[in-house]
Chain A
């Protein structure tokens, strides 16, 4: 390869660690799994195996990952649910890299995902020349996963139209994909499974039918547990994004990020950080990813229209836009929050004033 790929797959990026795990893994492996469930857990959560250090891919609750792996080990399909920015796709990529050694069998769910992407399509030149035959058939990633006994990923399952979603039902319950045109079928080999990811907060998704839901074990990936963890995520992402976008402002003060993260976390959780006061939650998701974009927006405001360093006034507009998604309900939520929490908090007067001016 002359130029390196913009982004390497998990199994390429962490090839060394995977190889090390394979070397030292002496626990029983389910059929067609590259690693034992214990080694998969170590790969995801980090740790040491046979003296080799494995970095943590997922920082958060151990039990979430354990249940996800146990689900795949019982050959049930796994549905990773969570608000945007909770590392759903990240976990799914690493799980399939660790289990099948390959994370590329991927169906990207969009509003326009056709049935061919889940089942199979036809190569029309071949079809016209030879008629329906196996050579003319274009297998979907799902079909390939079934044939090869590997994990197939379905990203953004709830964006896929409902009728296309439902074509997964047979695959998941019968573990077979009929091809009526050839009077044939593909039976899944051991090791095949599906990891789907879906968003449970965004509006306008195609909710899963209960028939499909029943065929998944659902694991909800939680938001970062502590303020510090989340502040750190926002800080590092903002730093790397700021470089790419070439925003000339100084890096934001940690204090300002902390305030922003605090606001987001409090509104999300429906309670103040000290747990003393309950709050209403707005209709938006207020994910970590949104916090990152608010800080970025504030930075460019500060650089182009302010004095170059991030101030409360630069953040206020972004915060308002992130919180108030529904002009009636969310406005009440935000104003209540301003009046009962922001106003009374020590050292937040500037933020209160800046927000009051806007609303």
Chain B
């Protein structure tokens, strides 16, 4: 009994190939269909025809013991494999995958990693066979070549013969990798099995590259020889929702495709000859929706231009390159910015696939369950308060897990403000909702463990942040989530954004979390240099941009700026970097010199410089009296004092020079002058705490002499050692050490 075998060599994700495959299958009507793909997922094939299955989706094969070792096989509606499988399911023809199973390939991978395979010349990345042909035909890339030769010509089933011949010729000149030999041997074995089952017509859908190897069958014995002794591991498989954006990444089938949205358009259009018109109309509609000008007349002109350009370039019909050039010249008036929009929305297209609920659990869910079990943190549908002590390893891990989930937008834990002081405490409210399960599944394409997914997702999110505050907010969570790999890339992004932002306020907001990491965080050495590089860049930019940003502020804006100046000062004071602080001091000095600025700012800066010892007390006194002189408008004076003294009631008590300055100035006032500034001073002093005010009153009553004794620093000889020693056990307790037995 003879078996007819039809080899359909396709281009992965090629809409033209998909059309040809369906037409060929309709003509051949095979009794069994074999598709290049992992047999480990054979049981999942019937789900393809499920009503809830919406491409793009991906087949995921992974090792349950090590979910990081995983392979994705993405499918779009226009993938030939997808259409072939659907054809088989609809026509009730048995269908199975025929590639070397991943249970062997993942095992081979593991072996290879252990041996020193990296230096093996055979392991070089194989060049795409179509690239070689395309280059020979004078095309810059293989996708365009295939488009020109086959997909745009709507070639019939005879294209498979042409492809077979081309590939046969090409394979004669190319070295075949050992892995390919094994894969093809497995494919042939699967074909032999199908033939043995007694089917009259077998159809095989595989990558064009493999077609010649399947067309001529060597002896079954030699194939058995090739496949002897393959290592094996346990693997699991499931379906995942995929996106068009992720189709553009490299994955299980090798290179990603650049234009899934365009391909979908090609696929949906079928044999309609109106490709150029329809595409240009879609472009026009998109631009119109974004309030950009695009008339029907422009569509006509863009179509004509694309077609003429295609002729000039020697193409049969215009392709994406001509469409883009024409759209830019006609719709966008030469501007490249709207082209990015067209690329994102149309050429790539934001499409999210869907997977039926019957699909097996994804590894990310398993990892989540494993983690919650390990950390004794079961998901509950009730609000649950949780207080973590970050000094305990288990609590620290819990905190990191919750922060990582926040990065993945799985909002299980809501951070609360912890009661009591200390940076080692963290409070959360936990509540598990069913939709969080969905959020977890949606995150599955990003990685198979929570840490991995959070890292990749955060890197991706960071590239999409358009403003510095968004990025800063992300960085704040990220630094708590302990994901060193993400830190590196997000820092790079932060640096880029910092360079572009013109809002000094945003730069200043970004600084404190970063200095906190440098000072207190447990980042690795490489990250530390990275963060410190970003910090010094930020400080340089703040120093350049701050003086112009401080001019012409109203009261509210000045108050905001004052808070930021304070925050920057305290952030920088935690760093040991002298050059940064010098630059910062110089900037503050520059601000102090400018009398036209808002009083709140100059007052604050004067005070900060005094605290840092940059300005001498005498100099400050001169400034104080200058700013309090009658010529200044009263509200400006009040603002200066407010800025100068803000929040520092206690400091006034302990800093003798400050007290003396203010006291000296007050006593020098004439009665009239005093009455005039009294309300302003009251306003500032009323912000101090009552005990402080009382102490100040007493201090003023007792006169300057007693102040001196009160603030005189105790000398070392004055320490009563016996009394001091009695305090030590309490200190040690406070520092977290177990109490010693008192002697």
Binding site for B on A (CB under 8 A): 37-38, 41, 63, 66-67, 69-71, 73-74, 76, 79, 81, 200, 210, 213-214, 216-220, 270, 276-280, 328, 332, 335-336, 339-340
Contacts and interface: CB of A to CB of B under 8 A. Distances in A.
Contact of A280 (B305, B311, B313, B502): B502
A219 B328 CA distance: 8
B312 A69 contact: yes
A270 B305 CA distance: 32
Given A38-B312, A328-B548, A340-B499, 12 more contacts: A63-B321, A69-B312, A74-B308, A76-B304, A210-B293, A213-B333, A214-B298, A218-B329, A219-B329, A278-B499, A279-B499, A335-B544
Contacts of B502: 280, 332
Interface in B276-303: 293, 295, 297-298, 301
B537 A71 contact: no
Which of A41, A70, A332 has the largest number of chain B CB atoms within 10 A? Answer: A70
Contact of B334 (A37, A38, A79, A332): A79
A216 B305 CA distance: 12
A37 B540 CA distance: 54
A73 B312 contact: yes
Nearest to A276: B492
Contacts of B329: 67, 71, 217-219
Given A71-B305, A220-B334, A220-B336, A340 B540 contact: yes
20 contacts: A67-B325, A74-B304, A74-B308, A81-B334, A214-B293, A214-B295, A216-B333, A217-B330, A218-B335, A219-B329, A220-B328, A276-B492, A277-B496, A278-B496, A332-B502, A332-B544, A332-B545, A335-B544, A339-B541, A340-B540
Residue of B313, B499, B537, B540 contacting most chain A CB atoms (<10 Å):
B499
B326 interface: yes
B55 to A, nearest CB: 33
Contact of A218 (B333, B497, B545): B333
Interface string B508-541: 0000000000000000000000000000010011
Interface of B: 293, 295, 297-298, 301, 304-305, 308-309, 311-313, 321, 325-326, 328-330, 332-336, 492, 495-497, 499-500, 502, 537, 540-541, 543-545, 548
B301 A217 contact: yes
B334 A280 contact: no
A66 B309 contact: yes
A219 B336 CA distance: 10
B309 A278 contact: no
The 6 closest A-B pairs by CB, nearest first: A218-B334, A220-B334, A278-B499, A278-B496, A70-B309, A70-B308
A220 B335 CA distance: 8
A119 B30 CA distance: 72
A37 B312 contact: yes
A180 to B, nearest CB: 27
B540 A336 contact: yes
Contact of A340 (B298, B333, B537): B537
Contacts of B496: 277-278
Contacts of A210: 293
A332 B548 contact: yes
B325 A336 contact: no
A174 B545 CA distance: 54
A67 B499 contact: no
Contacts of B492: 276
A219 B308 CA distance: 15
A74 B333 CA distance: 17
A314 to B, nearest CB: 25
Contact of B500 (A76, A220, A280, A340): A280
Nearest to A335: B544
A76 B541 contact: no
Contacts of B309: 66-67, 70
Contacts of A339: 540-541, 543-544
Given A37-B312, A220-B334, A280 B304 contact: no
A136 to B, nearest CB: 37
Contact of A63 (B295, B325, B332): B325
Contacts of B293: 210, 214
A154 B492 CA distance: 46
Contacts, number: 95
B541 A336 contact: yes
B449 to A, nearest CB: 30
Contacts of A73: 308, 312
A327 B313 CA distance: 48
A133 to B, nearest CB: 37
Contacts of A219: 329, 334
The CB with the most chain A CB atoms within 10 A, among B311, B325, B548, is that of B325
Nearest to B302: A217
B551 to A, nearest CB: 10
Contact of B305 (A76, A79, A279): A76
A26 to B, nearest CB: 15
Contacts of A38: 312
B296 to A, nearest CB: 11
Nearest to B314: A38
A37 B304 CA distance: 15
A330 B147 CA distance: 47
Contacts of A79: 333-334
Nearest to A275: B496
A40 to B, nearest CB: 9
Contacts of B326: 67
A185 B335 CA distance: 36
A73 to B, nearest CB: 5
Nearest to B303: A74
Nearest to A173: B297
B489 to A, nearest CB: 12
Contacts of B325: 63, 66-67
Contacts of B544: 332, 335-336, 339
Contacts of B305: 67, 70-71, 74, 76, 217
A89 B495 CA distance: 40
Contacts of A67: 305, 309, 325-326, 329
Contacts of B500: 270, 278, 280
A70 B548 CA distance: 50
Determine which residue in B321, B496, B497 has the highest number of CB atoms from chain A within 10 A of its CB, and name it: B496
Nearest to A62: B313
A295 B334 CA distance: 31
Given A214-B298, A218-B333, A280 B312 contact: no
Nearest to A28: B311
A277 B499 contact: yes
A214 B293 CA distance: 9
A75 B309 CA distance: 13
Contacts of B328: 218, 220
B495 A278 contact: yes
Contact of B312 (A66, A214, A217, A335): A66
A73 B301 CA distance: 12
B101 to A, nearest CB: 42
A218 B309 CA distance: 14
Contacts of A335: 544
A328 B500 CA distance: 16
A81 B309 CA distance: 19
Nearest to A81: B334
A282 to B, nearest CB: 12
Contacts of B537: 277, 340
Nearest to B329: A217
Contacts of B548: 328, 332
Given A71-B329, A217-B330, A332-B544, A41 B312 contact: yes
Contacts of A69: 312
B295 to A, nearest CB: 7
B540 to A, nearest CB: 4
A41 to B, nearest CB: 7
A76 B495 CA distance: 45
Contacts of A217: 301, 305, 329-330
B301 A74 contact: yes
B157 to A, nearest CB: 35
